[in-house]
């Protein structure tokens, strides 16, 4: 239900529960890594952070290091799960596509009131570009962090040059990670992107928003027979409808009705009807 109008809304799933869990696991463990990494420097006592209620531990280097290690285990596990799971599932929606740089420029211009926004698939072009950038940053943090950890735990006599290189690389990617986080929050704050906050929390977005801004994505999932939006704010399971079967899919109402006849079939893609004659039947 819309809090502004009191009208009931139709929702459609944008992210699965696994994807929502991945996002928050990486985000929260990453936040702990940032905070504990900072506290490993001698700044908590210097800037009176230790005087804040419940923050006395921030001045304890060993405790901060142990928290850092614990969060890194979760961070690495979630990152590896993301790569393996989506790789096996064949999910490529977040990978950059040809023309993303040009499309991103058009999107930025539209935010400034100079031109119209292009039609989108599930993800915006700048989201796909940012995804690759964040993947490189996370990979750099993990590899350099593992080298530093191995030195601390197993090889105190590791090459000094290697340790220094790993430390500098870790610090550089740490700064890039923080900047990427700030950019991510700034992108969410932009008015056209705000409706996507719901999907970060629940996995769902407004169907009207999806129709207006992501019609190409709705076309794709309708043709795959996966459209089944939640009605009146209630989650309903996605109903699998094979593409080769003849169905009339109503994306707006969330119903799938069997309408196969000898003459052919009508398929609705995101509310638009398209007539198609089956090859093995007479028109």
Distances (CA, A) of 74 to 25, 36, 138, 252: 7, 14, 13, 39
Least reliable range by pLDDT among 26-35, 188-197, 211-220, 259-268:
259-268
**227 is written with which tokens?**
């459209």
H helix and E strand count, the chain: 8, 6
Of 238, 226, 239, 235, nearest to 205 by C-alpha is 235
Cβ contact 231:34 at 8 Å: no
Taking only the tens place, the pLDDT of each residue in 92-107 is 888 988 888 888 888 8
Taking only the tens place, the pLDDT of each residue in 131-163 is 999 999 999 999 999 999 999 999 989 999 999
| Four-way CATH pick for 12-202: 3.20.10.10, 1.10.3470.10, 3.10.580.10, 1.20.950.20 | 1.20.950.20
pTM over 0.95: no
Does the structure show a pLDDT above 90 at 190?
Answer: no
Specify the pLDDT at position 226: 56
Cβ contact 37:75 at 8 Å: no
d(CA 278, CA 125): 36
Cβ contact 218:210 at 8 Å: yes
Domain residue ranges of the chain, discontinuous segments joined by +:
12-202, 214-276
Taking only the tens place, the pLDDT of each residue in 205-219 is 999 999 988 988 988
Specify the pLDDT at position 4: 53
Specify the pLDDT at position 121: 87
Confidence of residue 22 (pLDDT cuts 50, 70, 90): very high
Helix 160-189, helix 125-153: angle, nearest 10: 150
Chain mean pLDDT for the chain:
79
């Amino acid at each position: 239900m819309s809090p502004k109008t009191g009208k009931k809304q139709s929702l459609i799933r944008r992210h699965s529960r696994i994807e929502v869990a991945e996002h928050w696991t990486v985000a929260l463990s990453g936040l702990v890594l940032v905070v504990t990494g900072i506290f490993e420097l001698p700044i908590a006592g210097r800037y009176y952070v230790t005087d804040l209620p419940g923050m006395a531990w921030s001045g304890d280097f060993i405790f901060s290091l142990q928290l850092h290690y614990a969060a890194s285990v979760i961070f690495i596990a979630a990152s590896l799960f993301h790569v393996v799971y989506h790789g096996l599932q064949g999910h490529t929606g977040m990978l950059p596509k040809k023309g993303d740089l040009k499309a991103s420029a058009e999107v930025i211009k539209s935010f400034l009131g100079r031109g119209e926004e292009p039609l989108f698939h599930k993800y915006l072009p700048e989201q796909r570009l940012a995804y690759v950038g964040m993947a490189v940053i996370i990979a750099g943090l993990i590899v350099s962090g593992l080298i530093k950890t191995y030195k601390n735990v197993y090889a105190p006599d590791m090459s000094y040059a290697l340790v220094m290189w790993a430390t500098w690389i870790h610090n550089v990617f740490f700064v890039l990670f923080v900047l990427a986080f700030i950019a991510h929050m700034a992108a969410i704050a932009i008015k056209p992107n705000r409706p996507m906050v719901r999907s970060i929390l629940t996995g769902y977005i407004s169907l009207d928003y999806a129709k207006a801004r992501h019609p190409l994505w709705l076309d794709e999932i309708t043709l795959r027979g996966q459209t089944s939006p939640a009605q009146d704010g209630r989650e309903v399971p996605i109903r699998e409808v094979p593409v080769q079967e003849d169905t009339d899919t109503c994306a707006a109402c969330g119903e799938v009705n069997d309408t196969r006849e000898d003459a052919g079939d009508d398929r609705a893609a995101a509310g638009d009807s398209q007539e198609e004659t089956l090859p093995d039947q007479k028109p």
